[in-house]
Amino acid sequence: MNARNYTSAERLILGFDQALRTVFGRPQVTERANPAHGLDESEMSEQERDETARLMRINHTGEVCAQALYQGQALTAKLPEVRDSMERAAQEENDHLAWCERRLDELDNRKSLLNPLWFAGSFAIGAAAGLAGDKWSLGFVAETEHQVEAHLNSHLQQLPSQDAKSRAILEQMKEDEIHHATLALEAGGTELPGPIKLAMKLTSKLMTTSVYYL
């Protein structure tokens, strides 16, 4: 059965399964290889490893939020082509989720304890954006990806210079986020009002600060 022929009930079940995989299990990834595959582990001090792990934990939670946003938007999107676009973007974000989790394992660190909370909140925001209309939903995607791009640039500057593995992952994530933003705008996304952009930045700041510690 083609994805666009799923009933609303089936979509809810699939969405619930995807939510469980995102927060507690292993996400369904695409065919792409981990950008860090084949790169040697760098020598880092304990302080550098801890700081890198905290940054990667933030990025992992950011991808949990991205999954929730896309799933919420796909659930309420009105046009089938918009829904399909959201679902493909969510698949590619799953790659990021898996790569970040793998890197956390390599650094002997853990995922955030707050992931279920951030998933629930982001899903609600995504669903609300979808209900507002496809042009606003797509505009929300574009602005989200632009803010994530800036966030990744900041982390790339903070990483230890010798940590090639983490850097390769974040560089590929950044490239994907730029691509997703471009697709959203080309599909008809509209620029969001200033107050909404500011609220998104403040929410992101709350997430990064809390996940850095928890």
To the question of whether residue 177 is assigned a binding role by annotation, the answer is: yes
Phi, psi for 25 (deg, rounded to 5): -120, -145
Structure-token match 């954006």, residue found? 129
Helices within 41-133 (DSSP H only): 46-76, 80-106, 115-131
To the question of whether residue 93 is assigned a binding role by annotation, the answer is: yes
Helices vs. strands in the chain: H and E counts, helices first: 7, 0
- What's the chain's Rg over C-alpha atoms? 17
Could you tell me which of 177, 188, 202, 190 has the C-alpha nearest to residue 79?
Answer: 188
To the question of whether residue 171 is assigned a binding role by annotation, the answer is: no
Q: CB-based contacts of 74: which residues, under 8 Å, 6+ apart?
A: 11, 15, 83, 86, 87, 90, 130
Residues across the chain: 214
To the question of whether residue 92 is assigned a binding role by annotation, the answer is: no
The sign of the dihedral angle between the CA atoms of 28, 32, 35, 37 is positive
To the question of whether residue 81 is assigned a binding role by annotation, the answer is: no
To the question of whether residue 87 is assigned a binding role by annotation, the answer is: no
Q: Which residues are annotated as a binding site?
A: 63, 93, 96, 145, 177, 180
Which residues line the annotated binding site for Fe cation? 63, 93, 96, 145, 177, 180
